[in-house]
Structure 1
Amino acid sequence: MASLVVSLAGPDRPGLVNTLSEKIIAGGGSWLESRLAHLAGTFAGIILVRVADEGADALATALSSLSDEGLAVNVLTGSDAPAPAEQVTLELLGNDRPGIVREVTQTLRGLGVNIEEFSSRIESAPFTGEDMFRAVARLGLPRGLSAHDVSHALEKLTAEFMVDIKQPEEA
């Protein structure tokens, strides 16, 4: 079996997810996982599809044909990556400011941490209404690095961050 990672972006419209699912099933694929969102009038997402090896190229071509409908589509063949030494979930909350994602990701990169999943949003603080940055990430830690080390490094960025790192059984 082959794993295809499909990324896409384009104008949002009713029935778009159904169109994707019909292409996948018609090509003999199985929709395993996805992250899809409407962002600023644009529909964007990633989908993990499993398909028989002999059908992978045809399904990739069929999905790529959605570019005729205004979608930017990219299909990659997935691989089995080695598992990290430890996985943790990071929850971060702090006052929003320009460069916050860069600072956090730069710190994680410096520690050798792999960001396996990342989501963020801006929300209003209770009572004050100030913009607050909230992020949740699944991190793969390299051997020899503890969750405490990651938390400590992120807390050094600013005293305004609340950092919570959970082990898989706590998440």
Structure 2
Amino acid sequence: MTTSLVLTFIGSDRPGLVNAISERIAAGGGSWLESRLAQLAGQFAGIVLVRVPANAASGLIAALSELQADGLSVTVTEGSEAAPPQDYEALTLEVLGHDRPGIVRDVTQTLRKLGVNIEELSSSIESAPFTGEEMFRAVIKVSVPAHVAVEEVRRSLERLADEIMVDLKEAA
């Protein structure tokens, strides 16, 4: 019997940070299954899915919490079984628009009102060609319930502001 653990961490970016975490996971009998890691503003943060034998989970959690002494904030949560799949369509939304305060709030609020579930979101700021203006770009993987038309998702997002462009792609 195995247990899934989801750990999140953040600390000052430095060489060896990911290695310190992976050594604790391996020594605790865990397998590093999936992760998203990034350096942002001098901090290194991540979320990692780990599978560990059930009888070794508490030891691994204790070993990971010892990393706090090295200035690394670590939180471990036991995973749960995924909810049974519903009738939905997986889409990838690509949002591009002039950067402005509240754009993530507005996009996510629109998706929530439609009942669309965000599976993954990544965003960045980039310079527009020719003008150099700051442009907000987001790639959002979502699950759209069967009762919601994909075109309604597009129209709802495009109504946020005239300068937002939305491209919808079926997930692979």
Q: 1 CA distance for matches of 2:55 and 2:94?
A: 41
Report the equivalent of 1:92: 95
Q: 2 CA distance for matches of 1:55 and 1:128?
A: 56
Q: Supply the AA of the counterpart residue of 2:33.
A: L
Unmatched runs of 5 consecutive residues or more in structure 1: none
Deviation string, structure 1 residues 86-145 (Cα, Å, up to 9, x no partner): 221111001111111111011111111111111101000000000000000111222311
Q: 2 CA distance for matches of 1:24 and 1:127?
A: 47
Deviation at 1:147, TM superposition (A): 2.1
Give the stretch that moved more between structures: 144-153 or 95-104.
Answer: 144-153
Report the equivalent of 1:70: 71
Report the equivalent of 1:141: 144
Q: 2 CA distance for matches of 1:165 and 1:63?
A: 40
SS at match of 1:28: coil
Report the equivalent of 2:15: 14
Report the equivalent of 1:26: 27
CA-based RMSD of the aligned residues comes to 1.1
Unmatched runs of 5 consecutive residues or more in structure 2: none
Q: Supply the AA of the counterpart residue of 1:113.
A: V
1:101 paired to 2:93: no
Report the equivalent of 1:160: 163
Q: 1 CA distance for matches of 2:156 and 2:134?
A: 23
Deviation at 1:146, TM superposition (A): 2.7
Deviation at 1:70, TM superposition (A): 0.7
Q: 2 CA distance for matches of 1:137 and 1:149?
A: 16
| Paired residues, number | 169
Report the equivalent of 1:38: 39
Give the stretch that moved more between structures: 71-80 or 81-90.
Answer: 81-90
Taking only the aligned residue pairs, the percentage that are identical comes to 60
SS at match of 1:137: strand
Which of 113, 116, 119 aligns to 2:119? It is 116
Q: TM-score, normalised by structure 2?
A: 0.94
Q: TM-score, normalised by structure 1?
A: 0.95
